[in-house]
Structure 1
Amino acid sequence: MQITPVIFDCPRNARDPPDRVLKMTANRYCTHESASNDEGFTLLFAHCIGSHKEQWEPVIEQAFRMQQGKARNQRVREAWSFDWQSHGDAGILNRELLQVSGTRADGVSAYEWAEAIAAFVRSPRMQGRRIVAIGHSAGAGAMVVSLKSTPLSHLPFLGLVLIEPTIAKPELYYRVMADNTPTIEAATLLRRSRWASRGEAKEWLRKRAPYRKWDERVLALFIEYGLDDTSIGDVKLKCDRRLEALAFPDVHPHFDAFAELGRISGRVPVHVIWASRSELVPKALQDALADTKDGRRLASVTHVEGGHLLPQESPVRIAHAIANALDSIAVDFANANIIPAERSRL
């Protein structure tokens, strides 16, 4: 697997200095053989709050392997994984702009991440690509909102795969989920964020929720890429706890994503993957997303064993679910009609 790090300038926000813009960091994944397959899929990945682009690597590697022996239009040409501007390597590059004392006291909204993704998709790099967008939790909402200003006749994605999306109807969110948000925000601010070494961090994290349930490869990637070396020799989270906490009450992008799905899901197949024991998304919100009354039509609904952090806990199962969605999208692309939701379990 060839991995190429790339840095992009994001669309300028009016709050930032005229000569400064936030950066979005990304990794491009491909193989020598896959890069020449112009019939293959280009996969775009967006992570959840508190994570980083490298968390997807076990899923990406498995997806490449699973699709490799299939028809050329079902294979993976390349994959791109993005850091939210306040997370991972982007959080380090943007640290000065995101200081508490500046105009960025409210952090980086998922709206801004969606705008950066949309700008990337419009860039020459993506011209002629057969794009499938894949997002987890808040990253799922960002992928959907990235389409908000795009006419239905020019939607750039062949399909979307939304994993444990925190996409919600406003009135239902305030009825069944809103009371939990302050608790999650407070817990994030109190969570430990600094260790003497990566070795100490690994031993501490692997004994505690949610990390003790993570796949070993994903935990190792978090230790390597989710932590930053400090000037005094210890390590700390790349994503500042304050900025991570600010992302949880930023709920309006999730509301807009709910409305946007009603607009696009009849034109682009949307595959949704839920955890068998989701700790974050109540069943009422899951059912509302599949309700056709507001115009949404899901191509499939899959349940995967695990909790809300499915890509971290069950990367192989998630890769299998993504592979099933890719095979379906390859067939659906030639179809004018999107099939009704089919339910399955992995």
Structure 2
Amino acid sequence: MTNQTLEVESMNEQSESKFFALFFRFRELGLVAFIIILCVVIQSRNSSFLSVENINDMVKNTAIMSILAVGMMLVLITRGIDLSIGAIIGLSGMICAQVVSSYSSNPILVILLGIVIGVICGLTNGFLISKIGILPIIATLALMNIFRGVTYKISNGEWVSSYQMSEGFLKIATGNILGINNLIVIAIIIYVVFYYIVNHTIIGRQVYAVGSNPDSAAVSGINQNKVLLFVYGTMGGLAGLSGVLWVSKFASAQGDTASGYELTVIAACILGGVSIAGGAGKVSGVFLGALLLGILQNALPLLNVSPFWQTGIQGAIILFAVILNTLVKRKVDRNNLLRRKI
């Protein structure tokens, strides 16, 4: 083999390496393109899909999932997982609904109460994981059942319905600010805040460091226990907030509220490019992942797809996203390793 041939092959490998590296770094652009194509196809099949009313409903229905996905992103980046968020939503929603039905409290105070309940639950998760050393999946699975059991206990298996809630509480989710639904406004604020935290603060960089290489993070002096408490406390706080928003939106608090919803949130993160192996994920990607999942949940019924197929189609798309992300990351890592050897 001639030197010229070797040089050509080397240039081809470098070009391929750069392509995969750019794709992995800016995969959000591919996700945007996919969302646009999907919307065009759906609109061609049902002209009401891109109507103002349907878009507004779709974004509103995606807002709570988007809020939770930001917190789950932080958890997944640290190589963790939180299976208890559905139960935290149910617990905080039930307690806040009971407070409103008994005392008709100020909506702002109710929101703060929900966040405090969630933070306490999240810090409990963080303590078991960081201090005791229990695996995240075990700790959060156990607490999921505990939180759900507490919810059933304090409610005695009964619901809190809309007629027991104050009008001010119901307007938390149904009201508008400058013509924009409150749920959307709250989600936008949270995304702006967490975009800043993740990209421009020390704790944000420490979260990525712990997820990328825990041993190196420990050697560099990063307090991993503090980071994990922050991550799970934040996830809990967002779940507590979502509990209030959920009950206000659906005007009902039940013992099984948001049961299994944590899996939907994790799916949104994975679609958005968050690595379950830790160390990788962007706020913009999570937003797009939640949006894509919201589009699918809204569009499939409009296209008269059988309910039996809807979950399967969503699962297939999620699986495709995971496989694509894994293959590209593997290619990038292999090329980086070869470059270091050279």
Q: TM-score, normalised by structure 2?
A: 0.27
The structure whose residues are more often helix, as a share, is 2
Indicate the structure (1 or 2) with the bigger Cα radius of gyration.
2
Higher relative contact order (CA 8 A, sep 6+): 2
